[in-house]
Amino acid sequence: MNDKRTSPLVLDAMIVTGNTKAAVKAARGGSSDLWTVPPEHIHYDPRDNVRPLNKDRVRQIADLIKANGYDRKKPLGCFVRKVGGEDRIFVYEGQHRYHGALLAISEGYEIDRLPLVIDEAKSVTRANLIYAGIINNDSEKLTPLQLAEQIVELQTLGEDNKTICSRLNITDQTIRDCLLLANAPREVHKLVRDQAVTSTLAIEQIRAHGPEKALERLRRGIDTAKSLGKAKATKKHIEAAAATPTAKKISETQAKSLLQALQSVLHDPMFGKLSPGTIDGVHTALGPLSDLLDAKPTARKKYPVNEPNEHGVYTFERLASPKLKTGRTVNAPAEIHIAQTAPGKWIFGTSYYMGTGGGSTPCSLRDGDPTYPTRGQAIRAAVQYFTRLLEDPRLGNTKEAPSVRKWLDGLYAAPDPDWTEELANAEAK
């Protein structure tokens, strides 16, 4: 018997699924823009994405995929690039979903195909990829520093400020602020990336005091914040530090660098050619510190002449950066390869794997390639090559970059025991 004092619970009607093809046909829709492709046939280049890959986010997406399956309503944005005469599909939007799927597959989850939309070839330019990457990251906005890096690249590609403002819906002032930050010393960029200060505070200090003075003020503000137990410096910390006078003194790190530089002078093969007063000054300065000095470099070593294989690649000596742990593996993220092709003729090659990017140059010698008179000069040339590579934010912002930079600095500052007076005279001509 129904109780009139109560009313029945009204439930939503059960969903009755319909025919997809019939619905699309009735709506006069099409399917030519959406493709499904096996994951192993989709390629990736970190330079096509404005944001560095976040491995923690990849891990989270992989776990969600394994728990719920890949959401086919979120296709990857791709374009087709010619590589060695072959047409290859590259992902430029949805890199975290793509890498999350690959990680899930590597851990046993099966995904036969991934949905993707491929841009028309006529619309694919480096500038359009950058614009799309910035706009499509709107839900997770780029930091001012990341935006600055992309604006600089757009300007390099010939985009004028009016176009950039229009397509990104930003103001001229935003561009000016971003360029202030982009042109700041690298140490300022590191402080921002390490979240020791905000981009806004860094821009404000640069605008008011110039880049070098701003760096000094930011560093002192961070020290003040740390003394108060804070991880990030604010404007209040900057102003408090600026109001406190500091005595000019050489830091321990600077003192060590000066000592190492003076020691390099002492051990340089050309040291005996300096004036007697300079030689006596170096001995006087380093004499009391002899226990802190490294052992004198060994005598000049005779290196073998390396031989090329059938492909013209020489056997080489390998110089590897300190090993770092990535996932479950421990590898050197960067290597320099050097070879002596003939007496007094050295060449170099490189290899690296940093972040999600990698590359190599063979240790080979073709017509027009430079050679170097000593092993040390070949190493220094390789260091300069690597340093230029690290200017690209896709490599320079990776977690491996600080360790690689420190390793390169040490190689570049090392003395060259094979450098002679004859070589110095020849270079001066």
The pLDDT value recorded for residue 271 is 66
The pLDDT value recorded for residue 12 is 43
Categorize the per-residue pLDDT at 320 as very low, low, confident or very high, splitting at 50, 70 and 90.
Answer: very high
- Residue 275 CA to residue 280 CA, distance in Å, equals 9
pLDDT of 6 > 50? The answer is no
- Residue 343 CA to residue 47 CA, distance in Å, equals 40
- According to CATH, the topology of domain 30-124 is 3.90.1530
pLDDT of 340 > 90? The answer is yes
Exposed, middle or buried, 282 (CB in 10 Å: 0-12/13-18/19+)?
middle
**For the chain, what percent of residues have pLDDT higher than 70?**
77
- Residue 260 CA to residue 413 CA, distance in Å, equals 9
The pLDDT value recorded for residue 383 is 92
Q: For the chain, what are the domain ranges?
A: 30-124, 142-240, 261-292, 317-419
The pLDDT value recorded for residue 13 is 43
The pLDDT value recorded for residue 53 is 81
pLDDT of 347 > 90? The answer is yes
Q: What is the pLDDT of residues 13-64, one digit of tens each?
A: 443 434 555 654 565 555 556 888 888 888 888 878 777 788 888 898 898 8
Average pLDDT of span 323-335: 80
The pLDDT value recorded for residue 263 is 67
Q: What is the pLDDT of residues 367-425, one digit of tens each?
A: 878 899 999 889 999 999 999 888 888 888 888 889 999 999 888 877 787 877 676 66
pLDDT of 171 > 80? The answer is yes
Q: Which residue has the tokens 């990680």?
A: 103
What is the architecture of the domain spanning 142-240?
Orthogonal Bundle (1.10)
Average pLDDT of span 90-115: 90
Strands (E), 97-152: 114-118
Average pLDDT of span 316-332: 83
pTM of this structure: 0.39
**For the chain, what percent of residues have pLDDT higher than 90?**
13
The pLDDT value recorded for residue 290 is 59
- Residue 429 CA to residue 427 CA, distance in Å, equals 5
